[in-house]
Amino acid sequence: MPGGPMSQRREKAQILDAAGITRAITRIAHEIVERNNGVQDVVLVGLRSRGVDLAHRIAVKLEEIEGTKVPVGALDITLYRDDLGKAETQPVVRRTEIPFAINDKKVVLVDDVLYTGRSCRAAMDALMDLGRPRLIQLAVLVDRGHRELPIRADYVGKNMPTSHQEQVQVLLTEEDGVDRVVILEEKAD
Amino acid sequence: MGTGLKRKDLLGTRDLSPEEIGLILDTAISMKEIASRDIKKVPTLRGKTIINLFYEPSTRTRTSFEIAGKWMSADVINISTSSSSVVKGETLKDTGLTLQAMHPDVVVIRHSAAGAPQILAGLLKASVINAGDGAHEHPTQALLDLFTIREKRGTLAGLKVAIVGDILHSRVARSNIFAMQKMGMQVRVCGPPTMLPRYMDRLGVEVFSRIEPAIADVDIIMMLRIQLERQGGGLFPTLREYSKLFGLNLDRLKAAKQDVLIMHPGPINRGVEISPEVADGPYSLILNQVENGVAIRMAVLYLLAGGQAAAN
């Protein structure tokens, strides 16, 4: 995520707690079933790294609802970013693991925060290099506004208008030991 | 959060930290996945220009760098000096400055003189990668060797390696010794006394002039090629005698561990330093090394050129 070092930011507000995250995921899962008339040919591809955890949670919910296991893959978009060379430090490249073909599948991309839309653009380019999906949909936990590309989410956990100085941080048990979504702002000196 | 290599060039493993080595190996894991795709292409180095400047012949290394660059959408230009102005007597410095005027992002150089890459690195804004300089260093070879071992064994620290052959003239041995020791491995070298440098033990390696004790209870045996083009004569009586005393064959392998791994930087002299049965056998990692060479070189190109980490 773009922005200054974490240590100079302080927490402004919590916008989702653990229960809120669970409810959002449940609703997103139901919407995916509704929009796609079931989960036939649906696959979930999470953007590393928290998008992957969210995708797994959605898959669990989908299995509860429809009784079917939906395949989950992990996509690393580092090599497709449009800002390599602009960041002060280089992002670490992690492994893309999508152990199934995506040709003719309905791919639901899953990410934690939708902001400028550039990560989604990179993810779509990466997917196109891996095959030809029938369609691509986007599920995000938080949409914070400020799109810089004509991209929109199909499934949104929470809409949260923010300013450019703020940062939305999603913390998940799998990686951070806790489930919450907070807004951070520059620390006033 | 990222780190990147905070350096412009990769000239050797001697001045790489264990963290840097770890970063290159970890990045190569992700790069290797690209080789398994139908479309082996990512846009990461689009618009970057890589020049392979090879003053010495090469199959593996040069092709490996070329593929690595092209899979990442870079423009790769190969110069083999036998067909360039170098035959007209153009100096390294002038060749370097000429290339610099065409704004490459990376220059990969293989040269017979130790230190040539360092000279170029001082002259050029481009990132310089050493693809082998004399008997000095061949860092990407050592990195791909470490990657191959780690891939097979899961870990590096505590493993024992025996490097066997013409240690005196081997840049592969040197780069591996530095890199392996940094990662906590124990290294032994073995060869005829004429091919073992005099103060070799000062590098912290055990020195053997007979192969049987050298390869007993090591985890990895790395065979080096007898470099026919390097020596006129006098270092060993005949190839046949060398093979008899220092060649690795199935019989000799009985002295080693059951699950020992066999490696060789290539190209192999079948029947000289390594028998065909061993080279093509189940514990041979020789072709894995080649495959991993592409992934490692992709990682190095990405870490040096995929972003302006250090150059500015």
**Per-residue pLDDT band at A102 (split at 50, 70, 90):** very high
Please provide the DSSP assignment of B39-106 as one string.
S----TTTT-EEEEEESS--SHHHHHHHHHHHHTT-EEEEEEGGGSGGGGT--HHHHHHHHHTT--SE
Other CB atoms within a 10 A radius of the CB of residue B181 amount to 16
Predicted pLDDT at B235: 84
Considering only A87-91, B107-111, B280-284, which range has the smallest mean pLDDT?
A87-91
Helix (H) or strand (E) holding B162: strand B160-164
**Per-residue pLDDT band at A113 (split at 50, 70, 90):** very high
Q: Which of B137, B140, B141 is nearest to B106 (CA)?
A: B140
Rounded to whole angstroms, how far apart are CA atoms B135 and A173?
52
> What are phi and psi for residue B190, nearest 5 degrees?
-150, 140
Tell me the ipTM for this assembly: 0.79
> What are phi and psi for residue B5, nearest 5 degrees?
-85, 120
Instruction: Name chain A contacts of B19, Cβ cutoff 8 Å.
Output: none
Question: B136-151: buried (b, 16+ CB within 10 Å) or exposed (e) per residue?
Answer: bbbbbbbbbbbbbbbb
Rounded to whole angstroms, how far apart are CA atoms B221 and B211?
10
B3 inside 8 A of chain A by CB: yes
Rounded to whole angstroms, how far apart are CA atoms B162 and B149?
13
B250 inside 8 A of chain A by CB: no
Q: What is the mean pLDDT of residues A2-19?
A: 79
Instruction: Name chain B contacts of A80, Cβ cutoff 8 Å.
Output: 42-44
Answer whether residue A53 shows pLDDT above 70.
yes
Rounded to whole angstroms, how far apart are CA atoms B96 and B100?
6
Helix (H) or strand (E) holding B131: strand B127-133
Mean pLDDT (chain A) is 92
**Per-residue pLDDT band at B310 (split at 50, 70, 90):** very low
Answer whether residue B12 shows pLDDT above 70.
yes
Predicted pLDDT at A144: 96
Strand ordering across the sheet containing B75-80: B75-80, B49-54, B106-111, B127-133
Strands (DSSP E) contained in chain A are: 9-16, 42-47, 72-75, 106-114, 135-143, 155-159, 167-171, 180-186
pTM for the model stands at: 0.89
DSSP summary character for residue A163: -
Answer whether residue A89 shows pLDDT above 70.
no
Helix (H) or strand (E) holding A61: helix A50-66
**Per-residue pLDDT band at B309 (split at 50, 70, 90):** very low
Nearest CA in chain B to A5: B1
Nearest CA in chain A to B34: A96
Q: What is the mean pLDDT of residues A154-176?
A: 95
